[in-house]
Structure 1
Amino acid sequence: MTKGMKIAIVDDEQDMRQSISQWLALSGYDTETFASAEDALKVLGPDYPGIVISDIKMPGMDGMQFLKKLMGSDSTLPVIMITGHGDVPMAVEAMRVGAFDFLEKPFNPDRMNELARKATNNRRLTLDNRALRRELSDGSQLMKKLIGTSPAMERLREDILDLGQADGHVLIDGETGTGKTLVAHALHAVGARAGRKFVLISCAAYDEDKLAKRLFGPMMPEDSQLPAVEEARGGTLVLEDVEALTDSLQARLMSFINEQGTPAETRIVAISNLQEQDRTSEDALRPDLFYRLAALRITLPPLRQRGEDILTLFTRLSEQFADEYGCDAPKVSAQEAAQLLQAPWPGNVRQLINVAERAVLQSRRGSGTIASLLMTDNEEMQPVMTTEGKPLKEYVEAFERMLIDNTMRRHKGSIAAVMDELCLPRRTLNEKMAKYGLQRSDYL
């Protein structure tokens, strides 16, 4: 069963509707029944959170007409058709129109369960992808993903808003795992090209010949895609691992940029991962291309330089994973908070996500510590610490902010409950919340 998915059962025979509904409900599905296609169409919109099981032979609007209506509204909606014995040609026609599959009467309940499982999994994936595409086109939602109140993150958000409105090409660099692709999406979503194509190509994922064809064509007859420069025309073309471009491909990219003129019809956002290595993107790219791409530049801050953002991110991530795994988020002690702040985070946010998930899994089992997740494998299991010392006051304030934030979140903004748990008078709590930029309205 796929959590949160519904199954709409459409059949004019009451006994059949109830039989199917009861069987699927016993398997854990959330079902709703309709006596006619007309009634079902009042409920089944383009983003219906589930699948449909429908009889073909019904009075009024029959199953085939119903299927065509559903496919016209949302061609990705899985519809399982129920056919009578000997109606195989009709079932084949239903599949041609867009049905997910069909069941022939009398059908095996186990076969129905298997089809329901496959169809709901398919629907979940479709809706998740659809939600992701909407989110990636919504600048305000993307900016909310750039969590943190550190000066580095405040500057980054300002840079994205400023450069998003500009028209030049952009170079994004920074250490691995800092969120460079997310920033590329945000730049597109907050700019004038937000409603146009966003095409992302990983230059390191192809050999030279395949990359040349993918970027500039000609594409093979069997390819359904246009060359990336054509596909992204008028929108944004993002080149991940731009340093992987060979000299000849850099020359072709430079020619493409020159041919566009000013202002550029298609904006290029180049992403480089060379900052932590011996070479830089300036070393890897021919000078004229580098200076055209780096006219506007964003360098993402490494996690170790973001101070208390580390604790904020860890808290949000562990809460998300705890909700996903159906358990409580781990409580972070003062010592563990200091260890999180001191760790060097070579994998940056991507590494923090991994640590937060493992911490939740450990907590669910009732074993392990956060410190054990921050140990290296080659230093006699000693906790990894940075060489960048911080004043004790910074550690104390970061832990205090995290503690108040977590408690407010847990009590859904109840000031009285927070005062009671933390043994703080109202005035002191108000002063500390103001100091750390915490607002009660955010937790209600």
Structure 2
Amino acid sequence: MTDQTDALPVTIIDDEEDMRASIAQFLDLSGFAPQSFEEAAPALDAIDEDYPGVVISDVRMPGMDGLELLAELQRKDRDLPVIMITGHGDVAMAVEAMRAGAYDFIEKPFDPERLSDLVRRAATQRRLTIDNRLLRRELADGTVLLRRIMGDSPAVERLRATIMDYAHADAPVMIKGERGSGRSLAARALHAAGPQAGHPFLTLNCAAEPASHIEERVFSPDRSGNPPLLIAAGQGMVVFENVSALPARLQTRLGQTLSDGKMSDGAPIRCRIATIADEKVGEEVASGQFSPGLFYVLSALEIVTPPLREMGQDVLKLFEHYVDRFAQDYDTPRPDMSAEDAASLLAHDWPGNQRQLINIAERFVLRARQGTPTVRVVLGEEPAPEPSDARAAESGARPLKDHVEAFERLQIEAALRRHHGAIAPVMEELALPRRTLNEKMAKYGISRTDFV
């Protein structure tokens, strides 16, 4: 039987008991979590707007038939995939259902494998729909978006606290950090956590277009008469990237306009300004590449995104998160991480920061299909610059005790995740008495309720 906790739910509605039972049995053996109903009404009550699965319904049923059920389901959620089962003489009704928005139909008698394939394809579509909805909600919910800045290290805690502190300010903010350290995510979190949430979030990469195009876009209406960027954003946020790539004349004009708080025609600028800058932006100012006047306008407030090498054991949490995600994306078993893998992750310098970590996690999952991978081998496939003496000393300064504790915490969390917070099977898997497990969970600040 399938583990019902993780399997994709499928709701089956058919007034024929034998048909319901046979479909449910086959889908269960195929890795789904079927739930059967004899009538449409109780099934309708059990399906909400964010139901994560697929619905299979007979067309002809007493009371509410399949077409009426489809109409009611679409009032709840037009994107919910519904597969209709038809008898030999009901093809016309099935075609009508397709026109009304059904995902597909299958005619009795049917090949169970074909039904299973239909359900899998519909489930893939449903997952994309749900993921897109969650993303849109995250972009509109500052607290949810802040949780995407993952980690418990002091550096990450400071980052989240600073974002919350600055979210309700009006002053321009400069987000500094190394490439790949999450500067764009910090900008979105800043927007979503403040009064600008719900208003436009517009970005402009000043190195991606000719300066003349950027000048027109920032200061002039477009050919369709739409307002310039600083006005089009309304009370939202405009994020500038690579501002130092602008010519000096345009930097001066931008700085003066933002200082005045209005356009040349007198229109007030109501949007908040954020800038994404390199961690060495001070050198650009000193060399004259970045106008000091514009820099001081844009950097009234500063947020610094920490490099991955300063995030300590958060590296392991992030790696586990992305391994889980890629294992789901590629529909492959999640590879386990060894103590050697954990030590390699903690010792690595991560010049590419989180972007590099994401790439390594994906390769780790893909190589697991060919055998047991190791992080060290995967890291060796992407030659990185030799770390500086200071960084090498820093990465080698962690005592063995830190590596052991990091791996121990990782294994306890992984076991709790596998057993959904149930303590007894975790004790059995890790061969730990309850008292020892409780002490270690308290030591590492692990709560079983986070995994239930």
**Post-superposition offset of 1:42:** 0.9
Residue number among 21, 40, 45 corresponding to 1:37 in the alignment: 40
Aligned residue runs from structure 1 range 306-317, under 5 A: 306-310=311-315, 313-314=318-319
**Which amino acid letter does the alignment assign opposite residue 338 of structure 2?**
K
**Which amino acid letter does the alignment assign opposite residue 293 of structure 1?**
L
The equivalent of 2:78 in structure 1 is: 75
Q: Distance in 2 between matches of 1:83 and 1:433?
A: 54
CA pair 439-95 structure 1, distance change in 2 beyond 3 A: same
Check conservation: 1:136, 1:185, Cα contact below 8 A. Answer: yes
Check conservation: 2:413, 2:446, Cα contact below 8 A. Answer: no
The equivalent of 1:405 in structure 2 is: 409
**Post-superposition offset of 1:275:** 4.3
Check conservation: 1:236, 1:267, Cα contact below 8 A. Answer: yes
Residue number among 429, 444, 449 corresponding to 1:438 in the alignment: 444
Q: Distance in 2 between matches of 1:135 and 1:143?
A: 9
The equivalent of 1:332 in structure 2 is: 339
Check conservation: 2:207, 2:246, Cα contact below 8 A. Answer: no
Q: Distance in 1 between matches of 2:286 and 2:25?
A: 62
Aligned residue runs from structure 1 range 6-405, under 5 A: 6-83=9-86, 90-91=93-94, 93-103=96-106, 111-148=114-151, 150-194=153-197, 196-197=198-199, 199-201=201-203, 203=205, 207=209, 218=222, 232-239=233-240, 258-259=261-262, 265-272=270-277, 275=280, 279=284, 290-310=295-315, 313-314=318-319, 325-327=332-334, 329-333=336-340, 337=343, 340-359=345-364, 369-375=374-380, 384-388=386-390, 389-390=393-394, 394-396=398-400, 398-405=402-409
Check conservation: 1:4, 1:49, Cα contact below 8 A. Answer: no
Q: Distance in 2 between matches of 1:86 and 1:205?
A: 63
Check conservation: 1:8, 1:32, Cα contact below 8 A. Answer: yes
Check conservation: 2:176, 2:277, Cα contact below 8 A. Answer: yes
**Post-superposition offset of 1:233:** 3.5
**Which amino acid letter does the alignment assign opposite residue 203 of structure 1?**
N
TM-score (norm 1): 0.73
**Post-superposition offset of 1:310:** 3.9
Q: Distance in 1 between matches of 2:268 and 2:135?
A: 30
CA pair 80-350 structure 1, distance change in 2 beyond 3 A: same
Q: Distance in 2 between matches of 1:353 and 1:330?
A: 15
Q: Distance in 2 between matches of 1:87 and 1:129?
A: 35
Q: Distance in 2 between matches of 1:111 and 1:173?
A: 53
CA pair 151-25 structure 1, distance change in 2 beyond 3 A: closer
Q: Distance in 1 between matches of 2:117 and 2:230?
A: 43
**Post-superposition offset of 1:319:** 7.0
**Post-superposition offset of 1:174:** 1.7
Check conservation: 1:317, 1:353, Cα contact below 8 A. Answer: yes
Deviations 1:199-231 (A, max 9, x none): 35463797569978988865879xxx9997687
Q: Distance in 2 between matches of 1:27 and 1:411?
A: 26
Classify the secondary structure of the residue corresponding to 1:42.
helix
Q: Distance in 2 between matches of 1:285 and 1:355?
A: 34
**Post-superposition offset of 1:409:** 3.0
Q: Distance in 1 between matches of 2:116 and 2:432?
A: 50
Q: Distance in 2 between matches of 1:231 and 1:7?
A: 45
CA pair 158-61 structure 1, distance change in 2 beyond 3 A: same
Aligned length: 427
**Post-superposition offset of 1:184:** 1.7
Structure 1's unaligned 5+ residue stretches are: none
**Which amino acid letter does the alignment assign opposite residue 444 of structure 2?**
L
Q: Distance in 1 between matches of 2:98 and 2:227?
A: 29
TM-score (norm 2): 0.71
Classify the secondary structure of the residue corresponding to 1:192.
coil
CA pair 179-314 structure 1, distance change in 2 beyond 3 A: same
**Post-superposition offset of 1:48:** 0.9
**Post-superposition offset of 1:40:** 1.5
Q: Distance in 1 between matches of 2:282 and 2:299?
A: 19
Q: Distance in 1 between matches of 2:389 and 2:336?
A: 30
Q: Distance in 2 between matches of 1:219 and 1:98?
A: 38
CA pair 56-408 structure 1, distance change in 2 beyond 3 A: closer
Classify the secondary structure of the residue corresponding to 1:187.
helix
Q: Distance in 2 between matches of 1:35 and 1:244?
A: 66
Q: Distance in 2 between matches of 1:78 and 1:249?
A: 52
Check conservation: 1:167, 1:264, Cα contact below 8 A. Answer: no
Deviations 1:77-105 (A, max 9, x none): 11233456676665555344332233456
